[in-house]
Every structure is written in C-alpha cells, then in structure tokens.
Amino acid sequence: MTAPKLPLEESGGRAPLLEVDGLVMRYDTEAGEVSAVENVSFALARGEAMGLVGESGCGKTSVALSLLRLAPENARYQSGSVRWEGVNLLDLSDQQMREYRWAEISMVFQGAMNAWNPVYRVGAQIREAMDQHFDPPLGSSETEQRIDQLFQLVGLDPAVQRRYPHELSGGMRQRAVIAMALSCDPKLIIADEPTTALDVIVQAQILEELKEIQQDLGLSILYISHDMAVIAQVTDTIGVMYAGKMVEFGSTQEVFHRPSHPYSFLLLSSIPSVTGPRRRPMSLEGTPPNLLAPPSGCRFHPRCPWATEQCRQEEPPMMPIGPSQWAACWNAEQVPQMGEPAP
Amino acid sequence: MSLVKVEGLRRLFPVSPGLFRRKTGFVHAVDDLDFEIGIGESLGLVGESGCGKTTTGRMLVGLETPDQGSIVLGQADGTQMDVVNLRADQRVKFRRQVQMIFQDPYESINPRRTVFETVGEPLLIHGIGDLGTREEQIREMLRKVGLAPPESFMFRYPHELSGGQRQRVAIARALILQPRLVVADEPTSMLDVSIRISIMELMSRLAKQMGVSYLYITHDLAVARYMCDRIAVMYLGKVVEIGETEQLLANPLHPYTQALLSAVPVPDPSLPPPQVQIKGGIGKAVDPAPECRFVDRCPQAADVCRSTPHPPLEDKGGGRLVSCHLVDRSSI
C-alpha cells in the first residue's frame, strides 16, 4: 500500500523542513521481525511544534531515532523516506549524516538529565559537543560567549557551567541539556519526554521557556510524550501513534476538539483533569499488540469498541476528516464527541 | 470518628558534608504534621518531590520511626493504638491493620516468587487458615483485583506479568488481610496512561467494598481529584493546606496550592498555557529559618511573613485548614 500523501500547503503555507513519507522500519530480533514503524507519514514546517503521542512501545521513539539515523544496529529501513529540506537522510552515508546530527537536528533524549558525565563540569561537556560539530570550529572565547548566552536563554546563571552535574537540581540539569541541544544552532530539536521526571512547577517553567525559545529562534520542535496535557499546550500539530502506525494526524486544536480515531478518542477520554466538571475518565481496556505478529487489518481492532468485519480484514489508510485532520479509521464518523460515553 | 490521628509528627535526617565528617545540620523532612484520616476515607498527600510525603507515609506503616509526635490508630473496640510506641504484643495486630502499596511494581515484588506465594505470604505470616482455605482466599482476592481466572495467574512469576498486572498483584497482597488503612505511594505513576485509570478505578472500588481508608501519596493533583475525598498539600515538610477535594481545587487558598494548581497542564489546546507565578525550584529544608517555609518563593509575601514564625494550620471554615498569615476566614 502506498503512503497517503498529506497536503503540505495546509501547514499555513510554510515550507516543510521535514517530510517523512511512508516510513517502514523493523527490528530484527531472535524471536523474529518487530514491526516498529509501519508506513508513517508526516510533515513538519519551519518554526512549527509537533507532538508525537501514544502508549509505551507504540514506536514514537523509533520514529524520532530514525530522523537522526540513530536507531539500534538491528533496525532495518524497509521503505519510505525522511526528507530534510529535500534530501533523503536515509540515502546518506554515515559520514554525510554526521553533518546533519546536532548541527541541523538535535535531540533531547529521554532521561538525558541523568546522562551527564559526573566527573566533568557541565560547561566542558557542552564545549565538547560544540568542538565536534562546528565547522569551522569556533575560537575558545567565542565558544565561552556562546555557552553564556545559551545558559541565559534557558534560564540558568552562566556561572552554572563551572559546576558539576551532581551540584545541580533535576530542573537545572534538564535546562543544561536543552542548552546543549541548542548549542550548534539546529533548526529542529527532537524532545523525547523532556519534562517527564520533573515536578509540575518546574515542568511548566521549562515548557514556557521552550516555547519562548522556539518563537524567538524560529525553531521547529518535535515533542514526544505520553502526556496529552503537555502536548495540548505546546504543539501546533499532533500525530497519534498506535502499535507502530500513525492513526491520526492533524492540527492540535482539531484533534483535541474532535478526535476522529477511536484510539485518540479513548486516549483523550482517559486523562483526568483538574479543571472542568468532574468527569470520570474512561479506561482503555486491553493491552497493545505484540508487534512480532501484529493483528490483521486495523491494528487497533482487538481493543476498539466500534470494530467491524472490515476492520479485521482491511487496513484503513489515512483519510481526510477536516481541513487539517486525517485519521486511519473505517468508522471515523461513529466516534462520539468528547465527553460522550463510548459503547 | 477518625481512624488515624497524627499529631506533631516530625522526622529529621542528619546531613554531613562528607562520609565520617561531623553532622552539620538536619533536613526537616517532616516537620510538625497534624492530620486525621476518617474510616473509609481517602486522604491525598500532594506535593513536589522532596516535600516529605513519602517519609510521612513510611512513618504511618512503621517503616520509619518519628523523632517526635504521635500516630494513633483507632481500634474497632474503641481503644486507641499508639503506633509510635507499639508494645510487642501489638506489633502483629498493627501490621494486620496497616499495609502499603509501593510505586514501582517492578521493584516491589519478589521476582523469584509466584503470584500465589506473594499474595499468600501475609496469610502465612499471620497464621491464617490452612492451605486449603488460604488457596480459596487467594483465588477470591485475585478475582477481586481482576486477575481472572485465578488459575491462569496463580503460578506465574512476575516477569510473566505486565506492569499493570504486577500492580494488581501488589494490591491483592496489600488487601488480602483486610487492612483498615493502606498507604499507597504513587501506585499509578509508573504505569501507562491507558492502564492508570483501570488501576485507579480498581483501588477506589475495593476501598468501598472493603471499607479501607487510603493515604494516597501523589504528585499529580488530577489523580488526587479522582482518588481522594480530601487533599493535604505539603511543602518542605509542612502541610500548608487541607480541604475537601473539589472545594480545594475550585478555590485554593494557600499561595503554594494556587501555584501548584496553576502549573498543572490542562488537556485543552484552546486554553492558554499555565502561567507560573513562582520562580525557582523546591529545595531542601536544612535547618530552616523559623519564618514561613514558602516565603522566599511566595508571590504574595508581606512583612508579617518574614517577621513571624511559620503560621499554624488554622481552620478557615468549612473544614478547610490553611497555614498562611494572609488568608482570613472571609476567603472561603
């Protein structure tokens, strides 16, 4: 099946920076082939923030790692393309790919705040990344100056760069990680669960700062998170993934207002909220499928309350729902309005 | 009638600049805490990491000994059990009545024991029934927590279970003795969103069925909203506000509760993102100054907050207790 082509002009006429088209990636394991990313397509414009959401193991991190070609050794790209300003990153040699990593696309890895080398000062570790990736390399005073600026940008005192990681709180370490991701002036930052381990107040502060940085620098950010509430507040577009497939894609406003895939609907209905009427969150029964042997037809059909015979047999393609919303469901029109009960 | 009454509870941890050095001060992890939990009530203990909520929970189940203060557990016969100074003959009785559910079901269950052994161990320790009746009780409990049919789960090892199923085993083990109080320390925070709700529903359903009270420790106010009758908000070892859940969330009175609530992301993209009025992060209360603990980060701090000791938790009407100089009764 060919990948659905998303009309890119919908993203407000902005030039796409990144276009992922029909990406299929599998892991070879002893137990067999794991279908981790199955026919995923999306586009990200310059200056735009996109969110990738789904349960653990749905393939969101695999997609992100594919953009940087950092997936583990046993990953096989079967088909599809990852175009960065028109260049298919999957065709590049490892040497060529190095020029894109960090300088064009950087990543804040999940748990990166705990990955600082404990015996080096924070500033020295950022300097190392800059020395590796700046071509031609910056002079040492220029590097110093830049690190000072970066720290101010992420809300840290520049003096913090002379401290060791254990002397910083979790929020400060995460801010320093963001400074490092920004150090080589990338156009896109992939942020994998950037605030998951942080307390709410620090989380809100960091998200606010990221949003400001994004606007000030005209940066694109791809947020990966299981937290729908965080995604609602920081993104322009959202892709919902389930069992390696993207099941819904569209503007964050539309998807949250009227989710059209049963999985997005149930996922959104299952989050408790502190505001609004006290609505009992719905529970999403069952567990995600084993990707060694994914279900036939729609991968969500075993857990879907609206599944029909067609869903068991045929795989639904991405179909347009609204002006900037697509869902891969045969029965999208049956998905109730938010707040209404499921059958 | 309250099940648990906590008064003046305090736990200090010594800090020293290095191994073998002299102690230079104390972290006031839990400092002068008062609260009550009613029979069948679920009290939420909410706050950021390091605020002392886990230490409080551990003291309630006897895993940590308070330096000061009292914890009293009301008994069915009307007498009071002093939890801090248990007599030898009361220990077994106490442990039958108070149980704990931990955060991480991957760490809290022995990987070498089957579900049957894990869930049945409390019965064995307390010498309840013979093998036949114990097996019947274990089956019944597994059915109650949704691990049905019990035969297909009883002889599995933890590695054969998913995270959600493991947490169900932990709940079964905690409830099999029919305790009166369960301390649940972030029981759903390690689980995927989709499983979280079903575990929360299971816990509230069983609490109603069995008349169990919960001390529900969480950092997530949205979770507390669905699990708790009342919420106590902690900041650096102190409870700063207690109140009935919906009232507290609709009208938070303490500036810290207000800040905490405003920082919670709301799953609605049409609403503006949270504006956090307070700067900086939570520290540690090492030998704290006598004035209000929150004064350095408080957006409303006035002179009175700096010149007087930490305000006591005062009843502001309607069952709401607030520890703030600036909140008066008319705010309710």
**Closest-CA residue in chain B for A57?**
B192
For chain A, list the strands marked E by DSSP: 16-29, 32-45, 49-53, 75-84, 87-88, 105-108, 188-192, 220-225, 237-242, 245-251, 319-322, 325-327
Domain identity same for A158 and A71 = no
What was the pLDDT predicted at A14? 57
Contact A153, A189 (CB under 8 A): no
Of A201, A229, A272, the CB nearest to B260: A201
For chain B, domain boundaries: 2-250, 293-332
Between CA B92 and CA A157 the distance in angstroms is: 54
CA A318 centroid distance within chain: 19
Domain identity same for A161 and A213 = no
Residues of B in contact with A274 (CB under 8 A): 221-222, 225, 249, 261, 264, 266
**Closest-CA residue in chain A for B281?**
A202
Signed CA dihedral, B294, B300, B301, B304: sign only: negative
Q: Can you give the pTM of this predicted structure?
A: 0.88
Contact B147, B165 (CB under 8 A): yes
Residues of B in contact with A283 (CB under 8 A): 194, 197-198, 201
pLDDT surpassing 90 at residue A68: yes
Higher pLDDT, A302 or A1: A302
Between CA B154 and CA B211 the distance in angstroms is: 26
One-letter amino acid identity for A256?
Answer: F
Q: So what's the ipTM on this one?
A: 0.83
Between CA A242 and CA A221 the distance in angstroms is: 21
Range of the domain at A208: 16-104+193-337
Domain identity same for A256 and A162 = no
Domain assignment present for A64: yes
Between CA A274 and CA B249 the distance in angstroms is: 7
| Cα angle for residues A210, A68, A93 (degrees, 5° grid) | 150
Domain assignment present for A6: no
Confidence of residue B256 (pLDDT cuts 50, 70, 90): very high
- Per DSSP, B18 falls in state S
Of the candidates A272, A184, A279, the one whose C-alpha atom is nearest the C-alpha of residue B44 is A272
| Number of domains observed in the structure of chain A | 2
CATH of the domain at A329: 3.40.50.300
Between CA A123 and CA A158 the distance in angstroms is: 9
Domain assignment present for A343: no
CA-CA distances (angstroms) from residue B274 to A49, A155, A207, B249, B266? 18, 17, 9, 15, 8
Signed CA dihedral, A124, A128, A133, A134: sign only: positive
In terms of Cβ atoms closer than 10 Å to its own Cβ (0-12, 13-18, 19+), residue A77 is: middle
Domain identity same for A227 and A99 = yes
Between CA A327 and CA A317 the distance in angstroms is: 8
Of the candidates B1, B33, B28, the one whose C-alpha atom is nearest the C-alpha of residue B12 is B28
> What is the tens place of the pLDDT at every residue in B171-202?
999 999 999 999 999 999 888 887 888 999 99
Domain identity same for A38 and A141 = no
* Residue A215 CB partners (closer than 8 Å, separation 6+): A47
Domain identity same for A27 and A56 = yes
Contact with chain B for residue A266, Cβ under 8 A? yes
Percent of chain B with pLDDT over 90: 70
pLDDT surpassing 80 at residue A279: no
Domain assignment present for A83: yes
Cβ-defined contact of A233 to B273 (cutoff 8 Å): yes
Domain assignment present for A308: yes
What was the pLDDT predicted at A146? 92
Cis omega before residue A136 (within 30°)? yes
Domain identity same for A145 and A264 = no
pLDDT surpassing 80 at residue B103: yes
Domain identity same for A306 and A246 = yes
Contact with chain B for residue A166, Cβ under 8 A? no
Domain assignment present for A158: yes
> What is the tens place of the pLDDT at every residue in A187-220?
999 999 998 888 888 899 899 999 999 999 999 9
Query: What is the distance in angstroms between the Cα of B255 and the nearest Cα belonging to chain A?
Result: 13
Domain identity same for A167 and A262 = no
Domain assignment present for A250: yes
Domain assignment present for A10: no
**CATH class of the B2-250 domain in this structure:** alpha beta
